[in-house]
C-alpha cells in the first residue's frame, strides 16, 4: 500500500494533518485486541483485498496536548523503525472526525505471552532464537535514538502460526526519543519487567536490556525472576535484585545461559551489557551459525561514543588502555571484536578512514535521515585512535579506543585494580614508587612506536601530575581512570546507548 501525504480527501475533522480517507479505503472487521488507549481491528483494503491491523484511538481521549503529543511520538517512532524485520510495520496513518487510525501489518500468530502460558517454558534453542530477535529490536531502537521502556511478552507478536515464525515488536506508546546521556525520571513499564533504576527514577536505555533479561528468564523457567503477591512486593524484589538460577528447572539450564541472564539483570545499569554486547555472548553467537566470519551484530552506538571520548584522553591514558586491551580476555572484548569485523568491510585486519566513515553514517543517521556526525570529526576520531600513525586502526588500537571502561570497572573492580597495578609496575622500571620523565618517555616510545620529543613527554607528564612534583605516583595514575579527561571534547552525538564514561 503506497503511503500518501497527510490531509487526503474526505472525512474532515483533522487534528494532526494526516490522511482523512480511511473510511473510503478500508472496511473494518473483527476486533483483534484492546489496549489502554485504543482498539485494534482487522481491516481490509478495498482496492486490493489486503488485510491490515488498525489501531483505532478515539479523539475523545486526545483532548490534552500531552495526549496528542504521545500519539505523534508513537507514529514518529514507528516510522523511524519501519523496515526492521522484528518490528510491526506501520503502513500509514489516518484520522477522521472521531478517531485516529494507525494501519499496520497484521500478525496472525498471537502474543508471545500466550505462547509462554501454553508451553510453560521453552528449550534453550527456541529461547535463544526469540531473545536474539528481541535484542536486535533493542539495538535498532537505541541506534535510532529510541528507548522502548515497556518490553514484555505481551508486546511481541508472532508473524504467523508456523513453527519458527519470527516475532514482531509492537506498542511503542511508552517509547520516546532520547538525547545522548539523557536521564529519565518517569516511572513507566510493567511491574515484573521494570528495571531497578526506573524505580529509582534515574535511568537510560539500559532499562530495555533488563526487560529482555526478565523475558529470557521467563522463557527458560516459566516463572518471573522477581515475584511478589502485590505490586509493591514485586518492586521490592526488583530493587533487591536477587535471582534464583540454581533450583528446579535451572538445574538443567546451561551455565552459558545463566551467565547471559546475570549480565543482563545486573542491578548497576552501567555494568549491564548493551544489546550488541549481549548478541555477541556465546549463548547467542554460537547459535547464529556465523563462526569465523562477521557475525552480523548490529553496530553499537556506544562504540562510537567510546571512540569519541578516547579522542580527548590524556596521552598516558591512551597508552595504558592499549596495555589494558592486551590484558583483557577474549570473552571480555568479544563484542568489540564483532564490531571491528562489522566495520572492517574489506577484511584487511585494519580499519581505514573510509570504512569508519561508512560505519558512522550507518550508526549516526537520525530518524529524519540527517547525518549528525560530520566527516571531519570522524577523521579526527580516526587520527586519535591510530596510535602508531600508519593511517589505519588495527584491532588492538580499536579495542583500546572503543573499550567500555565503565563496564570493566564496575563488573569486576578487583580485576580492574589488578590490571592497573600491573601496568603501573611495568612503567615504574626502577621500582621506586613513581614514574619519572625518563621512564615515561620509554613507555610512550616503546609501547606506541611513535616518535616523542622531550616537550611531548613533558606535556604527557603534566597531564597526570596533579601535585606538580615532576613525577607520576600510583594514586595519580589510578585517578586518571576515575575521572573524565581534563582535555576539551566535542559534545557527544544525539543518539546513544548506555556507554559509561571512564
Contact 295, 280 (CB under 8 A): yes
Last residue of a domain, one of 53, 77, 104: 104
Report how far apart, in Å, the C-alpha atoms of 230 and of each of 191, 195, 226 are. Answer: 10, 17, 12
CATH of the domain at 146: 1.10.510.10
The answer to whether position 500 is within a domain reads no
Report how far apart, in Å, the C-alpha atoms of 94 and of each of 11, 14, 91, 142, 347 are. Answer: 10, 9, 10, 27, 47
Contact 440, 460 (CB under 8 A): yes
Q: Are 251 and 348 within one domain?
A: no
Contact 227, 237 (CB under 8 A): yes
Quick one: what percent of the chain has pLDDT higher than 70?
Answer: 88
pLDDT digits (tens, 9 = 90+) for 16-45: 889 999 999 999 999 998 877 789 999 999
Q: Is the pLDDT of residue 264 over 90?
A: yes
The answer to whether position 501 is within a domain reads no
Task: For the chain, give the mean pLDDT.
Answer: 85
Q: Are 185 and 279 within one domain?
A: yes
Which whole number is the average pLDDT over 474-500? 59
Contacts of 468 (CB under 8 A, 6+ apart): none
Tell the residue number behind the cell numbers 563488573, with chain if given.
Answer: 411
pLDDT digits (tens, 9 = 90+) for 265-305: 999 999 999 998 999 899 997 764 444 344 567 777 778 77
Q: Are 401 and 432 within one domain?
A: yes
Q: Are 52 and 199 within one domain?
A: no
Q: What are phi and psi of 276, to 5 degrees?
A: -65, -35
Report how far apart, in Å, the C-alpha atoms of 20 and of each of 4, 37, 90, 396 are. Answer: 11, 20, 17, 57
* Residues with catalytic function: 150
CATH of the domain at 73: 3.30.200.20
Q: Are 270 and 198 within one domain?
A: yes
Instruction: Establish how many alpha carbons lie within 13 A of residue 482's alpha carbon, considering only the half-sphere containing its beta carbon.
Output: 10
Contact 11, 23 (CB under 8 A): yes
Structure-block grid coordinates of residue 59: 479523539
Whole-number pLDDT of residue 165: 93
Q: Are 329 and 462 within one domain?
A: yes
The answer to whether position 140 is within a domain reads yes
User: Model pTM?
Assistant: 0.79
Q: How far apart are CA 2 and CA 16, in angstroms?
A: 20
Q: Are 167 and 261 within one domain?
A: yes
- What domain range includes position 150? 112-285
Amino acid at each position: 500500500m503506497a503511503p500518501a501525504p497527510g490531509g487526503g480527501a474526505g472525512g474532515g475533522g483533522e487534528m494532526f494533518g494526516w490522511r482523512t480517507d480511511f473510511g473510503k479505503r478500508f472496511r473494518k472487521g473483527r476486533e483483534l485486541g484492546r489496549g489502554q488507549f485504543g482498539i485494534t481491528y482487522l481491516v481490509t483494503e478495498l482496492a486490493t483485498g489486503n488485510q491490515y491491523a488498525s489501531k483505532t484511538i478515539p479523539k475523545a481521549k486526545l483532548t490534552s496536548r500531552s495526549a496528542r503529543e504521545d500519539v505523534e511520538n508513537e507514529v514518529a517512532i514507528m516510522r523511524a523503525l519501519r523496515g526492521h524485520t522484528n518490528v510491526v510495520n506501520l503502513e500509514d496513518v489516518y484520522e477522521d472526525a472521531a478517531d485516529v487510525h494507525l494501519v499496520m501489518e497484521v500478525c496472525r500468530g498471537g502474543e508471545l505471552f500466550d505462547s509462554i502460558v501454553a508451553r510453560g517454558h521453552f528449550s534453550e534453542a527456541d529461547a535463544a532464537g526469540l531473545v536474539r530477535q528481541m535484542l536486535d529490536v533493542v539495538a535498532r531502537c537505541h541506534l535510532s535514538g529510541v528507548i522502548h521502556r515497556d518490553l514484555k511478552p505481551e508486546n511481541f507478536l508472532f508473524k504467523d502460526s508456523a513453527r519458527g515464525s519470527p516475532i514482531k515488536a509492537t506498542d511503542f506508546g511508552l517509547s520516546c526519543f532520547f538525547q545522548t546521556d539523557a536521564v529519565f525520571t518517569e516511572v513507566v513499564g510493567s511491574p515484573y519487567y521494570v528495571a531497578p533504576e526506573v524505580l529509582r527514577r534515574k535511568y537510560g536505555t539500559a532499562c530495555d536490556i533488563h526487560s529482555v533479561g526478565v523475558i529470557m528468564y521467563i522463557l527458560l523457567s516459566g516463572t518471573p525472576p522477581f515475584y511478589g503477591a502485590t505490586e509493591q512486593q514485586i518492586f521490592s524484589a526488583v530493587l533487591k535484585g536477587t535471582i534464583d538460577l540454581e533450583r528446579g528447572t535451572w538445574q538443567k539450564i546451561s551455565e552459558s545461559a545463566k551467565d547471559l541472564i546475570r549480565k543482563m539483570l545486573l542491578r548497576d545499569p552501567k555494568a549491564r551489557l548493551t544489546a550488541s554486547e549481549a548478541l555477541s555472548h556465546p549463548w547467542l553467537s554460537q547459535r547464529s551459525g556465523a563462526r569465523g566470519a562477521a557475525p552480523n551484530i548490529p553496530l553499537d552506538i556506544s562504540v562510537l561514543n567510546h571512540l569519541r571520548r578516547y579522542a580527548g584522553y590524556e596521552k598516558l591514558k591512551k597508552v595504558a588502555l592499549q596495555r589494558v586491551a592486551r590484558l583483557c580476555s577474549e570473552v571480555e572484548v568479544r563484542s568489540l571484536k564483532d564490531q571491528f569485523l562489522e566495520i572492517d568491510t574489506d577484511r584487511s585486519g585494519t580499519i581505514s578512514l573510509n570504512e569508519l566513515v561508512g560505519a558512522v553514517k550507518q550508526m549516526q543517521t537520525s530518524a529524519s535521515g540527517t547525518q549528525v556526525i560530520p566527516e571531519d570529526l570522524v577523521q579526527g576520531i580516526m587520527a586519535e585512535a591510530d596510535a602508531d600513525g600508519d593511517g589505519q586502526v588495527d584491532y588492538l588500537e580499536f579495542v583500546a579506543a572503543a573499550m567500555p571502561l565503565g563496564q570493566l570497572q564496575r563488573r569486576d573492580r578487583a580485576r580492574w585494580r589488578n590490571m592497573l597495578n600491573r601496568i603501573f609496575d611495568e612503567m615504574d622500571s626502577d621500582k621506586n614508587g613513581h614514574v619519572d620523565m625518563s621512564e615515561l618517555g620509554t613507555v610512550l616510545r616503546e609501547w606506541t612506536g611513535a616518535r616523542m620529543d622531550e616537550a611531548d613527554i613533558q606535556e604527557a607528564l603534566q597531564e597526570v601530575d596533579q601535585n606538580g612534583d615532576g613525577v607520576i605516583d600510583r594514586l595519580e595514575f589510578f585517578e586518571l581512570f576515575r575521572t573524565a579527561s581534563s582535555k576539551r571534547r566535542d559534545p557527544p552525538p544525539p543518539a546513544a546507548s548506555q556507554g559509561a564514561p571512564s
